[in-house]
Chains A and B, each alone.
Chain A
Amino acid sequence: MTAHLKLLGLGVLLLLLHALGTSILPALARPDFVLIFVLTLGLRIGGGTGALALAFLMGFCVDVLSGSPLGLYALLRGTACVLTRLVDRALYLRASLPWAIYVMAYAFVDAVLMSLTLRVLVPEGMIPWGTVLLHVPLAGFITAILAVPLLSVTQRLEAEVQGEGAWTSLSSRARV
């Protein structure tokens, strides 16, 4: 329980860091701490529905504190968690370099998914591809760099979570 609370606390802390980043850094160089968090949720502890719900909740928090259409970030962050879980089964992502490359690549995928979702569901809020491609590279790179130390933090938490009894689906995954 303590480890789960620590995980939740880490999520809140990263959300606040994200908010702090918006006050200090320009949009082109702003790391997405919430994205890193939900990717790590998908990577390790992310087997369970609890982690999935937490990823959606983090996305919803971003929706609440931004001008995005309600549910956009919840959808994107939940999907990030699920896709990472799927990719994690095929590729080894738990070392620093593969993890950083994956986070960088996912930053691109996330921007493309966001743009496509807007085109389909909220066409009036559509963002031009040029703007998307201009914003992603530097911000994605910084996000990838910062994702590496956060991976080790969450790996420690994972060990604690597993010691206390993991979330439901994680236990089923362990059997598989």
Chain B
Amino acid sequence: MSDLLRRLSYPLTYLTLVGLCVIGMTTHRGPVELGLAHRILLSITLPLERIVTFPVREARRLWRDYTGLVDVREHNEVLRQRVTDLELENLQYKEAIVSSERFQRLASFRAKREIPMVPANVVAQDLSPWFQAVIIDQGSSAGIGPGMPVITDSGVVGVVAGTTPGASKVLLVIDPQSRVDVYVQRTRARGTLRGRTDLDCEFLNVLREDDVREGDLVLTSGLAAMYPKGLVVGRVSRVERKPYGLFQRAEVEPAVDFSKLEEVFVILERRELPADDAFFSESAELWPEARE
């Protein structure tokens, strides 16, 4: 009996662990608060990974700083001239804003709408060549939660997929699991952006008759309740329009260079789709006669 159990222990262990993995994969979809085991492992492995990758990051930074010094004097001259031009331009704008009451109102409105953001450093990259995620050094203790958008000054980076108190996992827009509702700035043609692993994205579900061209700027639509409207995602790099079918397909080169991603900002605003009754209550206020 004990011999039978011993023989069965290996397949039983395997089947149990496989079952746990399948449950994990089918239940943990989308941004979630990380579980205890996940947190513990991340807390143990992340400092080790930081130590290992630190020399590489520093070497890269040194090299970039060194190469950045080339032609720095000429650049400085050009930049000084530009700063002077911009200062003059800025003065004119300031004057216009101060003199116009309307502009003042707009300015105060903008200040109210300013989105709170947390800066964070990328501390680890995805270990798998098939998926695209990074780990940043700010977590739930900084107010970050799953589902919050992550951006840089260039554009959209991704979304927080999970958090621990000191770190967060960010799923990049180039990950195959990522979906972003976007539109083309020039023609307002809408579609869905899907990651492709190869540092670029597919622009899907764009109607065939929509005007999409290479070089068009692609922005977030704000409709999928994940990203605010109007964030730059990238530029159309290729358009494929077949003579048949409802949709055309395009490729989008992200605005962010993910191979050199170091600092990011997490928008501390989790957008959620309004509940069904919220729409009806709002519309009832606007059009009471429609309710009747």
Assess the A122–B53 pair: CB atoms within 8 A: no
Assess the A121–B22 pair: CB atoms within 8 A: yes
Chain A 58-85 per-residue mask, 1 if CB under 8 angstroms from chain B, else 0 = 0011101111111111110011001000
Interface positions, chain B 158-201, Cβ under 8 Å from A, are 161, 169, 171-172, 175-177, 179, 196-198
Chain A 29-72 per-residue mask, 1 if CB under 8 angstroms from chain B, else 0 = 01000100000000000011100110010001110111111111
A contacts, CB < 8 Å to B: 12, 15-20, 22-24, 27-28, 30, 34, 47-49, 52-53, 56, 60-62, 64-75, 78-79, 82, 114, 117, 121-122, 124-128, 131-132, 135, 139, 168-169, 172
- Of A56, A126, A169, which one neighbours B9 at CB under 8 angstroms? A169
- Docked pose: A6 CA to B225 CA in angstroms: 49
**Residue count of chain B within 8 Å CB distance of chain A:** 52
Cross-chain pair count, CB within 8 angstroms: 151
Assess the A61–B41 pair: CB atoms within 8 A: yes
**6 pairs across A/B with beta carbons < 8 Å?**
A20-B56, A34-B127, A64-B42, A65-B135, A70-B38, A121-B22
B contacts, CB < 8 Å to A: 3, 6-7, 9-10, 13-14, 17-18, 20-26, 28-29, 37-38, 41-42, 45-46, 48-49, 52-53, 56-57, 124-133, 135, 161, 169, 171-172, 175-177, 179, 196-198
A67-B21 contact in complex given A16-B49, A19-B49, A122-B29, C-beta closer than 8 Å: no
A173 closest partner in B (C-beta) = B10
B199 closest partner in A (C-beta) = A27
Assess the A23–B179 pair: CB atoms within 8 A: no
